[in-house]
Amino acid sequence: LIYRYSENNDKDMAFETAQKLLEAHPESKLVHLALYKFYLERNETEKALESMKIVVQSPQINPKSKMMVLSDFVKFVDAHPEYEPELVEATSILSDNESPETFNDLGQYYLKKGDKEKALKYFEEGLKKDPNNFMVQKNILLLQIDLKKYEEAKSNAEEALLRYPAQPILYLIHGVSLNELKQAKKAAETLEIGLDYIIDDPKMEQDFYKQLNLAYTLLNNTTKAKAFLEKAKQLESTN
């Protein structure tokens, strides 16, 4: 009935029906799927937040609906950062039954905020639920490099390359982690393989050359190091 009123654009009746349902069944979690939107539209922020928390934390709500509410929750907090503690509280007890999108939305939120540790944590949870999500895999690897978790980046890149052997970014991340771990010979090998997979991406190609320059510098091969540095400079001057 609530949704029928909403579809007919009779929001007042829909809201009234939802409130009556809550009065009749105060233990109901499903009614909050409708209530939180009405509260947001009426600027009843505290009530909206409470309804969103109930939905996000309820095992009775299906993952798809929960993901929709969490997405709205994240957008709301993004626009009103003073309510971030409410989001943290609501997501502190997420269960293993959550959809991968739930964790990935949270990862994107914290990535945008610059909290890389939290972003990494949620992306890793998302990848456990959806191991074939390449974009999440890439986000994890880039964050591990940013956070100087080079051993983890190395092993995860190696695993990802078994699944995606034609993705140049994986060879680059693998090479960066190997260089940082002073495994220059392996770094040079993986970077030179990865070069063959680059298609029309001068910036990435330049990054490869810089890492190859570093690898051959570590190997005391000044001739190759200089050659790759020149290639990087040439690309820099043409872009």
- What mean pLDDT do residues 51-61 have? 84
The SS3 of residue 59 is coil
pLDDT at 21: 75
pLDDT at site 4: 46
Question: Mean pLDDT over residues 212-230, rounded?
Answer: 98
25-39 pLDDT tens trace: 878 888 888 888 888
**Count of beta carbons in the 10 Å neighbourhood of residue 218:** 17
Confidence class of residue 11 from pLDDT cuts 50, 70 and 90? Answer: low
Q: Output the pLDDT for position 12.
A: 67
Distance separating alpha carbons of residues 7 and 28, to the nearest angstrom: 22
Distance CA 231, CA 126 (A): 38
* Whole-angstrom distance, CA of residue 42 vs CA of residue 48: 9
Tokens of 178: 């190997």
Give 166-213 pLDDT, tens digit per residue: 999 999 999 999 999 999 999 999 999 999 999 999 999 999 999 999
Q: What percent of the chain has pLDDT over 90?
A: 53
pLDDT at 29: 86
- Identify whether the C-beta of residue 120 lies closer than 8 Å to the C-beta of residue 143: yes
If one compares 145 and 16, the residue with the highest pLDDT of the two is: 145
What is the rounded average pLDDT of the residues 7-23? 67
Query: Does 70 have pLDDT greater than 90?
Result: no
Residue type, 156: N
Interval 138-164: pLDDT, tens: 999 999 999 999 999 999 999 999 999
> If you average pLDDT over every residue of the chain, what do you get?
88
pLDDT band at 87; cut points 50, 70, 90: confident
Distances (CA, A) of 103 to 57, 112, 154: 14, 14, 23
d(CA 180, CA 206): 18
Q: How far is CA 48 from CA 5, 33, 52, 208, in A?
A: 20, 10, 6, 49
Q: Which whole number is the average pLDDT over 58-83? A: 84
More confident residue, 78 or 11: 78
| pLDDT greater than 80 at residue 9 | no
Q: Coil, strand or helix: which one is 126?
A: helix
d(CA 88, CA 93): 9
Q: In this structure, how many other beta carbons lie within 10 angstroms of the beta carbon of residue 41?
A: 11
Question: Which domains, from first to last, does the chain contain?
Answer: 1-130 (1.25.40.10), 158-239 (1.25.40.10)
Please, which contacts does 81-89 make with residues 24 or more away whose CB atoms are closer than 8 Å? Answer: 83/45, 83/49, 86/49, 86/53, 89/53
Q: What are phi and psi of 198, to 5 degrees?
A: -75, 130
Residue 7 confidence (pLDDT) above 60: no
- Global pTM reads 0.79
Cα-to-chain-centroid distance, residue 77:
17
